[in-house]
Structure 1
Amino acid sequence: MNSNNLGKPKTGDLVPSRYALRIGEIDVLVVSDGVLPLPTATMATNADPADRATWLDDMFLPPDAFDWPLNVALVRSGDQNILIDSGLGGEYPGFPRAGQLPSRLEAAGIELASVTDIVITHMHMDHVGGLLVDGVKGRLRPDVRIHVAAAEVKFWESPDFSRTAMPPSVPPVLRSAATRFFNEYQSQLRIFEEESEVARGVIVRRTGGHTPGHSVVCLASGGDQLTFAGDAIFPVGFDHPDWHNGFEHDPEESVRVRIGLLRELAATGGLLVATHLPFPSVGRVAVNGDAFRWVPVFWDY
């Protein structure tokens, strides 16, 4: 290797921004939408600040703010190409390193026109914002099917932020993004109640908790399983599944959902991907006493 070329990549990315794997006959591509800097206090609002500081220090993370990863996924089952969430989008000047999905799909040679279905785990701005970027709707198929839980749509008609602990500037932006998403894509929505089969081996299931219509996507094929957990699980949730995240609209229900999902994954050995776990966010869950342990997969080159 010519050392003079180090630090001078031919592309704009210094590190990989996509990771491919197969679940039986289903192809999965995890794509990084970038990172979202947030105050560390939002990830453990019911924890003693000293305990939170200890966890951050043990994880070699800064005490006040750190970068939340943003992951989306592309799934191919048969002749269907399914996008799970769409990232943040590009209209939020305070988050310049997020909203990378369009450019990273382009770099992967994936055209938005090839997407037949979109699953929205919930309507927070970092999950629907990518669909609000100028020009994106026009590049999607007119008949694209967008799957979202009925409880989620109903919630955002008059959202309740009374039990969240977000920075005060965030709720109006969340409300605006959800309203814009619904207004722009209403005719393409495929609304389900509790569970829906999006494609062969691809099931979207409402969990509630984080938002009333929050959903996870379960893939199963050839004896393999993978769950895209959206915002049901955050990095701190393995060690402290009872800690509340400030963006959870029903913190107690979120804890119940999180623990149930982690127990399920530990029992089945299925793979886990979640929006805010470090990219590529592919791993398994093990029981660790009264808590859990995250076991990242070894990258397969």
Structure 2
Amino acid sequence: MNQMIRSIKQKIIKNLGTTSRHGRAETDELVPSRYALRVGEIEVLVISDGVLTPPSESMATNADPAVRSAWLDNMFLSRDAFDWALNEVVVRSGGQTILIDAGLGEEYPDFPRAGQWGQRLEAAGIDLGSVTDVVLTHMHFDHVGGLLVDGVKKRLRPDLRIHVAAAEVKFWASPDFSRTAMPPALADLARRASKQFLDEYHSHLQPFEDESKVAPGVVVRRTGGHTPGHSVVRLASGDDRLMFAGDAIFPVSFDHPEWHNGFEHDPEEATRVRLKLLRELVATGSWLVATHMPFPSIGRVAAAGELFRWVPAWWDY
């Protein structure tokens, strides 16, 4: 046990949430917005883009309402709406600086607590001009929006590489929302954001079919399910492993992996993907980070009978 605790402390670096790149205290935040760790020789920084607040039924569209309400009550969460974290990741490996997903952006007034990705990158000392690669788990508006903020593209390198599954690019050319439970306004927002992204960044795209090595120890692989080209990113260095699962795993997934999320374009396939990834995480002991797990979204997955248990990392401070 002591060896495990020492190992965790070696991998989890000091929380960086209250210091800017200029050494000044950030006084506009009541809680930290970024957290750093190492995966072997790979540097990882989890960035909070803020919080979304969707209706509670959106996390379990196929659930019995009474069972869903009981789960929410047991977790001390509102039956009407809940705080849904929005996390992105910065990875440094082999001289490359890689952004995994890009947050919500600033043009969505219905989500006033999110859209802080750009400011928080800057506060963490991440210069957009130093970014060599972007990896997109998928192209929903809360994953590409930060790249659409005015002035961002001008600050990025002209040789920037954006890694995204070819199936994702194909899907958003003519997206199908018939199997989602997204409100029409959000479906329209998703269409607009994906079209704008493809129009502005098409020359930077590095589409891949099933898998692509982005940097030493950094591999992105298509899973499908949530969207046809949804992908996860796996980091490996020495004996250490981390999976960024995008929107494949949610807070409710450990108790109810069978519950469908309202933003899933193929709910049955998304469930199969979710179960496969959860079983992999149990078997490997890999760290897990996911877009909508509570910040800083760093932990492991343990078996709990036929279900699963989330084991959050102990913060170092």
2:116 to 97, 100, 125: 100
What is the TM-score of this pair, normalised by structure 2? 0.91
Deviations 1:61-101 (A, max 9, x none): 01101111000000000210000000000000111111101
Query: Equivalents in 2 of 1:230, 1:282: separation in Å?
Result: 13
What is the TM-score of this pair, normalised by structure 1? 0.96
Query: Equivalents in 2 of 1:171, 1:152: separation in Å?
Result: 16
The residue type equivalent to 2:59 in the other structure is M
Aligned residue number for residue 170 of structure 1: 186
Aligned residue number for residue 243 of structure 2: 227
The residue type equivalent to 1:179 in the other structure is K
The residue type equivalent to 1:99 in the other structure is G
Deviations 1:125-166 (A, max 9, x none): 000000000000011111110000000000011111111011
Superposed structure 1 runs of 4+ greater than 3 Å apart: none
Matched, 1:237 2:258: no
Aligned residue number for residue 109 of structure 1: 125
Query: Equivalents in 2 of 1:11, 1:131: separation in Å?
Result: 26
* More deviation, 126-135/167-176: 167-176
Aligned residue number for residue 145 of structure 2: 129
Matched, 1:288 2:274: no
Query: Equivalents in 2 of 1:292, 1:251: separation in Å?
Result: 19
Aligned residue number for residue 94 of structure 2: 78
Q: Is there any run of 5+ residues in structure 1 with no aligned partner, and where?
A: 1-8
The residue type equivalent to 2:105 in the other structure is G
Q: Secondary structure at the match of 2:28?
A: coil
Aligned residue number for residue 214 of structure 1: 230
The residue type equivalent to 1:234 in the other structure is F
Q: Secondary structure at the match of 2:184?
A: coil
The residue type equivalent to 1:45 in the other structure is T
Q: Secondary structure at the match of 1:38?
A: coil
The residue type equivalent to 1:171 in the other structure is A
Change beyond 3 A, Cα 1:10–1:297: closer
Change beyond 3 A, Cα 1:81–1:295: same
Change beyond 3 A, Cα 1:10–1:140: closer
Give the share of equivalent positions with the same residue, in percent. Answer: 73
Query: Equivalents in 2 of 1:179, 1:171: separation in Å?
Result: 12
The residue type equivalent to 1:210 in the other structure is H
Q: Is there any run of 5+ residues in structure 2 with no aligned partner, and where?
A: 1-24
Matched, 1:160 2:176: yes
The residue type equivalent to 2:55 in the other structure is P
User: How far 1:10 sits from its partner (Å)?
Assistant: 5.0
Q: Secondary structure at the match of 2:173?
A: coil
1:38 to 54, 64, 74: 54
Aligned residue number for residue 277 of structure 2: 261
User: How far 1:259 sits from its partner (Å)?
Assistant: 0.2
Query: Equivalents in 1 of 2:73, 2:51: separation in Å?
Result: 20
The residue type equivalent to 2:128 in the other structure is L
Query: Equivalents in 2 of 1:296, 1:10: separation in Å?
Result: 26
Query: Equivalents in 1 of 2:26, 2:44: separation in Å?
Result: 25
The residue type equivalent to 2:121 in the other structure is L
Query: Equivalents in 2 of 1:123, 1:10: separation in Å?
Result: 31
1:144 to 147, 154, 160: 160
In angstroms, what is the RMSD of aligned CA positions? 0.8
Aligned residue number for residue 195 of structure 1: 211
Query: Equivalents in 1 of 2:195, 2:29: separation in Å?
Result: 33
Q: Secondary structure at the match of 1:66?
A: coil
Alignment of structure 1 residues 4-19 onto 2, 5 Å: 11-19=27-35
1:21 to 22, 30, 37: 37
